[in-house]
Structure 1
Amino acid sequence: MNLFERFSRVVKSYANALISSFEDPEKILEQTVIEMNSDLTKMRQATAQVLASQKQLQNKYKASQQSSDDWYKRAQLALAKGDEDLAREALKRRKSFADNASALKTQLDQQKGVVDNLVSNTRKKSVVK
């Protein structure tokens, strides 16, 4: 039994030495750097897409807010001319745009924290490079 264990250890040591000779630490390091650069590029692309999406959401929010203000002015103008029915209709439309703007603002606020975190992480990874 003792002889068999010694023989087994010798075979394992030769096998480990053979496997180690195939592994080139420099090549492994180079491959790791290539993979990290690829991941960083993907992260930058994702960040750019998220920032573009956030900008579109901001534009929609501003447009809804502007439309709400416009309909309010129309309601005031209709009241000034004495047309209460038209003023009510304008206020209904204003409310619709104001509600939409409010929902978009909520989305923007929620997205802001996530976007800031993503941008921060991307910058940190870029500095490490």
Structure 2
Amino acid sequence: MWQRFKRAMRSFAGFFVSSIEDPELILEQNVRDLNDQVPKMNESIAMVRANVTLLEKENAKYQDDVRSLTAKVKAAIQAGRDDLAAQYASKLQIEKDALARNEQQLATARQAYEKALSVKKAFMREKERKTQEAMNAIREARRAKWQAKVADTMESFTVAGIDSTHDEMLRKVQEKSAINEARMQMALESVDHTAASIEEEAEKIQANELVKQFKMEMGLVSSPAPVSEVGSGPEKTIGKKVGVE
């Protein structure tokens, strides 16, 4: 039972972690962590280099002491002071032993410094490789997000956008056009073309009469004789003889 409970808790924790994980953010944090390690590594290398410098200074001092004591031993022997020569010789041996230990430490420190430089070089090369991989992956992730966004937008156009109403709108426009054409046809059929033609002819006659009237007023044509004058003349009678004087 306890094992099942622990397994369930681990699965829940794994699900929770995976649900909040963002690969892009994690890769960016990894790059920052790698960059943060560079100053720490430089500080460690600087400490190793400082140890080498300190040992080199000690080595130079021991060598000076050895040369100085050697000269003093020789001078004491030449002066016939074997007692002083023995004292200087004892100190000389101590300095030589210290110099030997210093040289061993210096060699070890130099090896450590060279190794630290090699480690830094390998780390920087690996850092550049991982950083490049991370940046490529980040760009790929951003491109994938953009593609997903575009795909969602295009799907929304297909499902709830133009495509869903395009055919319906075309059908409505065609229906309205057909109705208006039918109404126009019915209106044309209901017009009395004969009456319209008569009215048009009457308007032409009236216009011609007005033109004639203007011409007569302008003296361009003679006025027609009155009807009474046209009808006057020799009176004809039936059965009546006209006398001749």
With structure 2 as the length reference, what TM-score do the two structures score? 0.43
Aligned pairs, number: 115
Aligned residue identity for 2:60 = K
Over residues 8-37 of structure 1, what are the superposed CA-to-partner deviations in whole Å (9 max), with x where a residue is unaligned? xxxx9xx95x86553222211110011111
> Which residue number corresponds to residue 94 of structure 1?
92
Question: 2:111 & 2:17 partners in 1: Cα distance?
Answer: 48
Over residues 31-53 of structure 1, what are the superposed CA-to-partner deviations in whole Å (9 max), with x where a residue is unaligned? 00111111121111100011001
> Which residue number corresponds to residue 106 of structure 1?
104
> Which residue number corresponds to residue 54 of structure 1?
52
Aligned residue identity for 1:125 = F
What does residue range 110-121 of structure 1 map to in structure 2 within 5 Å?
Answer: 110-121=108-119
Question: 1:38 & 1:49 partners in 2: Cα distance?
Answer: 18
> Which residue number corresponds to residue 23 of structure 2?
25
Question: 2:91 & 2:18 partners in 1: Cα distance?
Answer: 74
More helix by percentage:
1
> Which residue number corresponds to residue 39 of structure 2?
41
Q: Is the 8 A contact 2:48 2:112 kept in 1?
A: no
- Flag the 1:21–1:100 CA change in 2: closer, same or farther, 3 A: same
Question: 2:121 & 2:18 partners in 1: Cα distance?
Answer: 37
Question: 1:108 & 1:30 partners in 2: Cα distance?
Answer: 41
> Which residue number corresponds to residue 120 of structure 2?
122
Question: 2:17 & 2:94 partners in 1: Cα distance?
Answer: 70
> Which residue number corresponds to residue 9 of structure 1?
none
Over residues 88-107 of structure 1, what are the superposed CA-to-partner deviations in whole Å (9 max), with x where a residue is unaligned? 11111111111000011111
Q: Rg larger in 1 or in 2?
A: 2
Q: Say which structure, 1 or 2, has more relative contact order (CA 8 Å, 6+ apart).
A: 1
Q: Deviation of residue 77 (structure 1)?
A: 1.1
> Which residue number corresponds to residue 69 of structure 1?
67
> Which residue number corresponds to residue 3 of structure 1?
none
Over residues 42-69 of structure 1, what are the superposed CA-to-partner deviations in whole Å (9 max), with x where a residue is unaligned? 1111000110011101111121121011
Q: 2:78 aligns with which of 69, 77, 80?
A: 80
Q: Is the 8 A contact 2:70 2:92 kept in 1?
A: yes
| Structure 1 unpaired stretches of 5+ | 1-11
| Structure 2 unpaired stretches of 5+ | 1-10, 129-245
Q: Is the 8 A contact 2:55 2:102 kept in 1?
A: yes
Question: 1:95 & 1:19 partners in 2: Cα distance?
Answer: 67
- Flag the 1:19–1:90 CA change in 2: closer, same or farther, 3 A: closer
Q: Deviation of residue 110 (structure 1)?
A: 2.3
Question: 1:40 & 1:125 partners in 2: Cα distance?
Answer: 9
Which SS does the other structure have where 2:80 is aligned? coil
Percent of aligned pairs sharing the same letter:
24
